[in-house]
Structure 1
Amino acid sequence: MAQRIGKVMAQVAMVMNLDKCIGCHTCSVTCKQAWTNRSGVEYVWFNNVETRPGQGYPRRHEDQERWQGGWKRTATGRLKPRAGGRLKKLATIFANPKMPSIQDYYEPWTYDYEHLVSAPLGDDIPGARPRSLISGEPMQIKWSANWDDDLAGGEELAANDPIVQKIGDKVRFDYEQAFMFYLPRICEHCLNPSCVAACPSGAMYKRAEDGIVLVDQDKCRGWRMCVTGCPYKKVYFNHKTGKAEKCTLCYPRVEVGMPTVCSETCVGRLRYLGVILYDVERVGRAAAVKDEKDLYEAQLDVFLDPDDPEVQAAAIRDGIPERWVASARRSPIHLLAKRFRVALPLHPEYRTMPMVWYIPPLSPVVDALSESGHDGEDAGNLFAAIDTLRIPVEYLAELFTAGDPGPVKDVLGKLAAMRSYMRRINLGEEPDESIATAAGMTGADIERMYRLLALAKYDDRYVIPTAYGVDEADRGVIDEIGCSLDFEGGPGMGGMGGEAPFGEASGRPQPASVETFHALRDRQTSDGRSGPARRFNLLNWDGNGRPPGLFPERDQKNSPGRDQKNSPGPDQKNSPDRQDGPEPEARRNTRDGGHLRGHGESK
C-alpha cells in the first residue's frame, strides 16, 4: 500500500563521485577565493578535500563523544541535540566547552615578505619567516587544514582517525599496503539540521524554497552553539565580525540556474547538482528510527518519485513551480541516490538527514587486484575482492552507512558490474546480461548509469532551475560582480575593500570571474545585453568548430546603423536606479513562516 503524500518540498542536493576525485584541491582554492579571502576567516575552508584514512579538518571532527554534534534519540523515541537542550545551553551560553579551538583547525599565517627587501646587507640570504594572521607574531608552523594530505605522516597521524579506531583490526599504513581516497566536504544542507536547532538567536535557517541552510548575519549574536551543534563542523566563527559563517551552496549562482563555484571549477567533474522532492512530514520519523543502520533506508523513503503523477500534483499543490518539478524529473541526484542507489549519505548516524551524498570509491579494490597480478576489470575478480577486502569496505561503511557493510557492498558491486559490462561493449564483444543481473540491475540500467557517471555533459550534471520569481530572461546573468551580498567593498564573492564593515583594507581589485566576464563585457559595450540562450560555456568547449553562442550577436535595436544620438549611454542604462530584473537575494519563503527548524524537541 502506497504511503500518503504529505507536504512536498524541494531541495537542491549534490552527489560526488569519489572515484573521479584526483585530490587537486581546485574546488577548495576557488571556494576560498570566492567566499573566505578576507580577515577573520583566514582559517575557514567552506570546501576542503580530506585524505582518508585521516583526521580531517578540524582534527577528529567525527568524534562526537568529544564534540557532541548532531542529534541523539531519547528513550521515548524523540530527538534532542546531543549537546543538550535549552537548559544546558542557557547554563553554558557564555562559555561553551564543546567547541574546537583554533589549534584544532590551524593558526593561519603569512610570511614576513617585507624583511626580504628591507634586510640590511649581509653574508646570508634573508628569509621570510612565518607570522600569525591572528596575532601578527612570529610563529612555528605545526598544522594546517591539509597537513596530512596523501597520508602524509603515515600511521602517526592517520591512526588518529576516529573511524580507524572503530575498526577492530589494525589498518596498515605501510606504503605497499595502504589504501586511500579523497573526500571533498562542504556543508551538508541537511533536511534536519542540528545547527539550526542549536542556535539560541534563531539566526540560522533553512530556506523553504530550495533547502539551503544560511546564517542571518543581522540576527547572529556569536553564541557559537551552531559550531558545536553541527556534527560535520562546517559552521565557522568569524573573529573579526563576531558572527557565524558557513557554506552558502553559492546561492546567488544557484538562484539563476548556475552550479556552485566548487562544481564549476572541479577538474574531475565529479559533482552533480539537482533538485530532489521530499515529504517533509516523513523527515522527523525517518530521523528518529531506533536502529542507526536503518537511517539510510529511512532517508530514501523520505524522497519522492518525481515521475509519479500524484507526486507532481502534490508538489504543484504545495507551491512548487512546474519547472522545478520538471527539473526534479531530470535530476541526476534522484537517479544516483534513489533509482540506481549508488550514492550514500555521509554519517547518517548523526540523524541530520544530510543532502550531499557520495558514490563510494571502487579504486581501492581495483588497485588491490591489479597489484596482486589479477585482472582488475573482471567481474568475477571484482565481486570476490569486494567480499574479501574487508578493511576498505568496513571503513566505507563507517563513513556512509553507520557501520552496515551491506549497502556499501551493493554499491561497489554495481560499480564493478558497470566496469566489466562496459568493457565488453568497448572491446566490441557481446554484452553479458548475467553481469548486470548479478548486481541486481539490467543492461539498460548499467548503460544509463555509465552515461551519467562517465560521459555526462554540463547540462546533465547540473540540472538547476532558477529561483522562484527570477525572470527566465536573466538566467545565467549575475548583476555586476555576481553576488547580492557583495556591496562596494563588501564580504561577498571577492569583496575586499577597506570601507566595508567587515574589514580588510588590502585595496586589491575585484577579481574577474568566468561566469560574469561576458555579462560585464556586454553591459559595458552596448545598451542591451545578449540573451543568455546565446551564451556558451567555454569550460565545456573542446576547441573544435564554432558552436552556437560562441560569438553572441548584439540586439538588433543596438546595431551600428541605428541612430543613437539621443539615446542614453551605457552608464545611464546601467545606473543603480535602473532595474533590469529581480536581484537574487537570500530570502525566506513567507509561505512557511520564515525559516524551518530542526525536527527535535528543543532549540
Structure 2
Amino acid sequence: MNVRAQISMAMNLDKCIGCHTCSVTCKNVWTNRQGAEYMWWNNVETRPGPGYPRQWENQNKYNGGWALDGGKLKLRIELGKNYKPPSLQDYYEPWTYDYEVLFSEKQTEQQPVARPISLITDEPMDVAYGPNWNDDLAGTDYILEDPGLDGLQKEVYAQFRDVFMMYLPRICNHCLNPSCLAACPRKAIYKREEDGIVLVDQNRCRGYRYCVAACPYKKVYYNWKTGKSEKCILCYPRVEAGQPTVCSLTCVGKIRYMGVLLYDADKVLDVASTPDPTQLVRRFIDEVLLDPFDPAVVEAARRNGIPDDWIKAAQRSPVYKIVKKWKVGFPLHPEFRTLPMVFYVPPLSPVVTTFEKTYGAKITDVFPKVSELRIPIKYLANLLTAGDTSLVEQALKKLIAVRIYERSRNVAEPGLAEKAKAALAEAGLTEEDAEEMYRLFALARYEDRFVIPTNPKRYAKQPYIERGVVGLP
C-alpha cells in the first residue's frame, strides 16, 4: 500500500446559483493579463449545453484522455498524428468595447453604439461565441450540442425551455492519472508529491500544446503572448498557508468544500485500466481512496512520511465524508480514466415539497419516484458515473432522506418521525449521518468546509512520474 495525500475539492451542485463569482475572482487574481484573455481556469456552465470550450466532452472531436489498448492505458492522441486542440473559435475571440465613441460621437437621433474590439487583433469584430454563451438557456438549440444527452431524447428536451437546467462549475481536476502530464514531451507538467497539485513548469514549457489536446476537460490553456501553457494551480500559495482557493472562498452559495484525501498510488493504474467504465467509479472510491481511520492506512501513511497533521486533516476532511463515507460525491466523466480529484454532489431538483405537489406523492412514496425527477438521472449518470444510474439514484435517495429526516424534526405531523427513520434505513444512513450531512451541506462554518493543513512538508523521496504511476507511454 503506497499511501499518498492530496488536497481535493467537492462541489454541491444543489446549491450552485450560477452567479459566476468564482469565475470572476479567479480571473482577476490569475488571468487578468495579456495572452490570457480567453482563459477561464474556473468557469460555470449551464447544462445541458455545449460547455466551454465548445463540446469539450466530445473526445471523438478532441482525442483527449486515455483509451484502453489491449487492456493497457494509451493516450487517445498520438504525438504528431491526431493532434486536435481546440481552436480559438471553440473558445471565443476575447473582446472589449470602444467606449470612447460613447463620449466623442456627435449628437444624433440614434443612440451611439460601442462596437466590440478584439483584444487580440485590436480590430472591430462580430461577437459569435463566449464562455457563457448559453447562460440560463438550457432549453434552446444549444442543448443539441451536449454529448451528455446521449441516450436521451435531445429533440424533445430542446423544445422546452424549462424542462431541466443545472449549473456546472469546473476547474482543473488535478487528476491522479493526468493525461496532460503524460502527453508533454518536455516533462514540463508535474504533480506535486506533497499535495497532489498538478502544475506547469514555465521554464521547461515550449508551447507544443500536446497537453491542451490531451486534457479531456480542456483545462490547460495556451498563452499566445508568452508561448507557454497555463492552467489552474489550485491557488497553491494559499493552500500552503492553510487557506482555500479563491473560487472556494468567494463562492456565494458556499457549494465548495476542500480537504485531504488519502489514496493508494499503487492502485491508480490498475483502477484506471478497468475495462468496464461503469465499474470504474466504484473501484476508484472503494479501492484507490482510503479510509483515514483505518489503522493500517494510518501506519502506511506514516511509513511513507505523511505528517500526522495531514492524517488528522484527512480524518476531518469534508471531501472524505462526501465521497468516501457517504458516497454522494462523484468525479466528472470518470470514463476519461484520469481519476479526477474534484468531486460533485448531484443536484436534487425539485425539493421534496415541490416534488409532492408535482407528482402527488407522499413522503413514503418518494423513493420509487426518484427516477422521475426533473433532471433525468441518466443525464447525471452520463456526467458523473460513466452511465451508472444506480450510483446517482442512491446518492439522491440519501439527499432526499436527509431532507425528510430534518422535516420530521420541525413539522408536527403524526407518524412522520417513523417515516423518516424508514427513509434513512432505505437510504443506508443513520440518524447521526443525517445530522452530520445536514450540518455540512446547510450550516457548515468556514472551518468545517475547509480543512487544509498548513505548510505541507515535502515528504516525497522520489519524483511521482519516475514510479510509473501516471501511465507514461
TM-score (norm 1): 0.74
Taking a change above 3 Å as real, the CA distance of residues 136 and 370 of structure 1, as seen in their structure-2 partners, is farther
> Are the aligned partners of 2:306 and 2:459 in contact in 1 as well (CA < 8 Å)?
no
Cross-structure match for 2:248: 263
Using the alignment, how far apart are the partners of 2:435 and 2:167 within structure 1?
A: 26
SS in 1 for 2:406: helix
Aligned to 1:520: none
Runs of 4+ in 1 over 6 A off after TM superposition: none
User: What is the aligned partner in structure 2 of residue 237 from structure 1?
Assistant: 222
Distance 1:598 1:69, change over 3 A: farther
- SS of 1:11 mapped into structure 2: strand
Paired residue for 2:131?
145
- Asked if 1:79 is matched to 2:64, the reply is no
Match of 2:337 in 1: 351
**Aligned-residue offset at 1:156:** 1.4
Question: Which amino acid letter does the alignment assign opposite residue 398 of structure 1?
Answer: N
Change (3 A) 1:195 1:180: same
Say if 1:73 and 1:79, in contact at 8 Å, map to a contact too. Answer: yes
Summarize deviations over 1:536-567 as a string: whole Å, max 9, x none.
xxxxxxxxxxxxxxxxxxxxxxxxxxxxxxxx
SS of equivalent residue, structure 1 residue 363: coil
The verdict on how the C-alpha distance between 1:110 and 1:207 changes in structure 2, with shifts beyond 3 A counting, is same
Query: Any conservation in 2 of the 1:191–1:352 contact (CA below 8 Å)?
Result: yes
> What is the match of residue 22 of structure 2?
27
- Contact kept, 8 Å, 2:143 with 2:154, in 1: the verdict is no
Superposition deviation, residue 174 in structure 1: 4.2
Contact 2:178–2:470 (CA under 8 A) maintained in structure 1:
no
Cα pair 2:176 2:470 within 8 Å, conserved: no
Distance 1:462 1:317 in 2: 26
CA distance in 2, matches of 1:455, 1:160: 37
- Determine helix, strand or coil for the equivalent of 2:461: helix
Structure-1 residue corresponding to 2:321 = 335
**Aligned residue in 2 for 1:49:** 44
Match of 1:61 among 37, 56, 64: 56
What's 1:113 paired with?
Answer: 99
- Provide the secondary structure at the position in 1 that maps to 2:46: strand
CA contact (8 A) 2:63 2:83 kept: no
Tell me the CA shift for residue 455 of structure 1. 1.3
1:179 to 164, 180, 191: 164
1:591 paired with 2:464, answer no
Match of 1:39 among 34, 37, 42: 34
Query: Which residue is equivalent to 1:8?
Result: 3
Kept in 1, the 8 Å contact 2:163–2:374? The answer is no
1:424 equivalent in alignment to 2:408:
yes
Question: Once the 2 structures are TM-superposed, how far is the Cα of residue 171 of structure 1 from its aligned partner?
Answer: 4.3
Deviation per CA, 1:199-223: give whole Å up to 9, x if none.
1110001000000000000000000
Structure 2 stretches lacking a partner, 5+ long: none
Any conservation in 2 of the 1:207–1:589 contact (CA below 8 Å)? no
Aligned counterpart, 1:415: 399
Query: 1:463: which partner in 2?
Result: 451
Measured against aligned partners, the alpha-carbon deviations of 1:477-523 in whole angstroms (never above 9, x if no partner) come to xxxxxxxxxxxxxxxxxxxxxxxxxxxxxxxxxxxxxxxxxxxxxxx
> What displacement does 1:123 show?
5.0
Report if the CA contact (8 A) 2:55-2:147 is conserved.
Answer: yes
1:438 CA displacement: 1.1
Q: Which fold has the larger relative contact order, with Cα–Cα distance below 8 Å and residues 6 or more apart in sequence?
A: 2
Which of residues 431, 450, 453 in structure 2 aligns to 1:443? Answer: 431
1:442 Cα deviation from its structure 2 partner: 1.6
For 1:168 and 1:141, how far apart are their aligned partners in 2? 31
The alignment's TM-score, normalised by the length of structure 2, stands at: 0.94
After alignment, is 15-24 or 421-430 more displaced?
Answer: 421-430
Cα 1:335–1:594 change in 2 (3 A) is closer
The aligned amino acid for 2:462 is D
Change (3 A) 1:231 1:451: same
User: Residue deviations 1:334-385, cap 9 Å, x none?
Assistant: 111011111111101000000100000011475973562636xx53343122
Match of 2:366 among 382, 394, 411: 382
User: Share of identical aligned residues, percent?
Assistant: 54
**Following the alignment from structure 1 to structure 2, what is the Cα–Cα distance between the partners of residues 372 and 333?**
33
Aligned length: 468
1:201 match: 186
What is the 5 A alignment of 1:154-169? 154-167=139-152
Q: 1:132 is aligned with what amino acid? A: S
2: CA distance, partners of 1:235 / 1:44: 9
1:305 matched to 2:315: no
The counterpart of 2:383, out of the listed 399, 405, 421, is 399
User: Does 2:274 correspond to 1:289?
Assistant: yes
Counterpart amino acid of residue 48 in structure 2: P
Offset of residue 198 of structure 1: 0.6
Structure 2 letter corresponding to 1:35: W
Is it true that 1:191 corresponds to 2:176 in the alignment?
A: yes
1:590 shift after superposition: 5.7
Q: Secondary structure in 2 aligned to 1:209?
A: coil
Instruction: Give, in angstroms, the shift of residue 595 of structure 1.
Output: 5.3
Shift of 1:160: 1.3
Letter in 2 for 1:160: E
Query: In structure 2, what is the Cα distance between the partners aligned to 1:373 and 1:63?
Result: 35
Map 1:517-596 → 2, pairs under 5 A:
591-593=461-463
Counterparts of 2:66 and 2:184, CA distance in 1: 14
The offset of 1:238, in angstroms, is 0.4
The code of the aligned residue for 1:456 comes to A
Q: Distance in 1 between matches of 2:468 and 2:212?
A: 15
Counterpart-to-counterpart distance in 1, 2:144 and 2:150: 7
Q: Deviations over 1:292-343 (max 9, x none)?
A: 1110011111111111122111111111111001100101111110111111
Q: Secondary structure at the match of 1:183?
A: strand
In the alignment, is the contact (CA less than 8 A) between 1:30 and 1:265 conserved in 2?
yes
Q: Secondary structure at the match of 2:41?
A: coil
- The amino acid across from 2:339 in the alignment is M
Distance 1:413 1:590, change over 3 A: closer
Q: Secondary structure at the match of 2:300?
A: helix
Change (3 A) 1:372 1:174: farther
Is 1:279 the counterpart of 2:251 in the alignment? Answer: no
More divergent stretch after superposition (134-143 vs 431-440): 431-440
CA deviations over 1:184-243 (Å, ceiling 9, x no partner): 000000011010001111000100000000000000000000001100000000000001
Q: What RMSD over aligned residues (CA atoms) do the two structures have, in Å?
A: 2.1
Please tell me whether Structure 1 or Structure 2 has the larger radius of gyration of its CA atoms: 1
The answer as to 2:216 corresponding to 1:216 is: no
The 1-side partners of 2:281 and 2:460 are apart by 31
2:234 aligned with 1:249 = yes
Contact 1:180–1:364 (CA<8 Å) still a contact in 2?
A: no
**SS at 2:125 equivalent:** coil
Counterpart amino acid of residue 407 in structure 1:
L
